[in-house]
């Protein structure tokens, strides 16, 4: 497994953990509308760190066996990365439009933030799924 | 861009085995990872035109010898 495929898996795993943790913390919170800021910021921060840690530790484990696979990449990785990026971009735009609509409706800032978080989460999740499928099933 | 199977087939694996080359050696020769060469052999990834020429040149054959695209 090449570096970028491991990074795609790390992103997918971190996205699932982040979404799951955020949903659990918000649903079990007695008053999420007032205490969502630290929950959201910590969840995003820890999600990014987890993704980086998985990539690094997995890279070290692979590098011990096969040094070349630890860092090697080529045009296939670029193509798959571009495909995943397009999916992520599309969902970020949907989230941005949702935020504009919520602002136009003068919605509470809580719902504006939830919409943006959902956009980040879904785009990261689907971008990761797209990359993993492209690596497993092919990109032809 | 949709993920779909390519109609292009190739005989890279047969040529590689005939030449006694491992995937790792051939991949290094044409400058790609072993995983990419495997994906090309299995029809899961279409190589760029430049890479296709490099592969053909590595075996000393033409593109037509290495790749096939079905008639309509």
Q: How confident is the model at residue B1 (pLDDT cuts 50, 70, 90)?
A: very low
Residue-number span of the structural domain to which A14 is assigned: 3-137
Q: Over chain A (140 residues), what is each successive 10-residue block's mean pLDDT?
A: 86 93 92 90 93 88 75 87 95 96 96 95 94 86
Instruction: Say whether A138 and B32 touch across the interface (CB within 8 A).
Output: no
pLDDT at A32: 85
CA distance to partner chain B, nearest, from residue A31 (Å): 43
Nearest Cβ partner of B36 from A68, A76, A137?
A: A76
- Give Cβ neighbours of residue A107 (< 8 Å, ≥ 6 apart): none
In A, what residues contact B, Cβ < 8 A?
1-2, 5, 68-69, 72-77, 79, 83, 86, 133-134, 137-140
d(CA B58, CA B55): 5
- Give Cβ neighbours of residue B20 (< 8 Å, ≥ 6 apart): none
For residue range B16-44, what is the model confidence (pLDDT) as tens digits?
Answer: 999 999 999 999 999 999 989 999 999 88
Query: For residue B35, which phi and psi values (nearest 5 degrees)?
Result: -65, -40
| DSSP character at residue A25 | H
Domain count, chain A: 1
What sign has the CA pseudo-torsion B54, B55, B60, B63? Answer: negative
Mean pLDDT of B9-16: 94
pTM of the model: 0.83
Instruction: Say whether A140 and B42 touch across the interface (CB within 8 A).
Output: no
d(CA B49, CA B51): 5
Contact status, residue A1 vs residue A54, Cβ threshold 8 Å: no
Nearest Cβ partner of A75 from B4, B34, B48?
A: B48
| DSSP character at residue B47 | P
Instruction: Say whether B39 and A76 touch across the interface (CB within 8 A).
Output: yes
Burial tier of B70 (Cβ tally within 10 Å: 0-12, 13-18, 19+) = exposed
Chain A with chain B: Cβ pairs closer than 8 A: 55
- State how beta strands B67-68 and B9-10 pair: antiparallel
Nearest Cβ partner of B45 from A1, A72, A76?
A: A76
Query: For residue A42, which phi and psi values (nearest 5 degrees)?
Result: -65, -40
For an interface test with A, the pick among B2, B3, B34, B52 (most A C-beta atoms closer than 10 Å) comes out as B3
CA distance to partner chain A, nearest, from residue B14 (Å): 20
pLDDT at A81: 93
């Amino acid at each position: 497994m090449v570096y970028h495929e491991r990074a795609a898996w790390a992103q997918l795993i971190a996205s699932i953990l982040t979404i799951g943790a955020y949903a659990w913390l918000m649903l079990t919170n007695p008053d999420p509308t007032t205490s969502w800021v630290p929950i959201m910021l910590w969840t995003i921060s820890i999600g990014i760190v987890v993704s980086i840690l998985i990539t690094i530790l997995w890279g070290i484990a692979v590098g011990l066996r096969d040094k070349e696979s630890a860092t090697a990449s080529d045009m296939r990785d670029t193509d798959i990365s571009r495909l995943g990026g397009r999916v992520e971009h599309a969902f970020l735009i949907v989230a941005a439009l949702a935020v504009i609509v919520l602002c136009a409706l003068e919605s509470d800032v809580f719902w504006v933030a939830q919409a943006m978080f959902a956009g980040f989460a879904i785009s990261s999740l689907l971008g990761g799924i797209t990359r993993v499928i492209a690596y497993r099933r092919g990109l032809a | 861009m949709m993920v779909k199977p390519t109609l292009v087939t190739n005989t890279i694996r047969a040529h590689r085995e005939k030449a006694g080359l491992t995937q790792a050696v051939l991949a290094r020769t044409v400058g790609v990872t072993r995983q990419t060469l495997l994906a090309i052999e299995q029809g899961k990834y279409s190589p760029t035109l430049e890479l296709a020429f490099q592969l053909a040149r590595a075996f000393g054959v033409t593109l037509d010898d290495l790749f096939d695209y079905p008639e309509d």
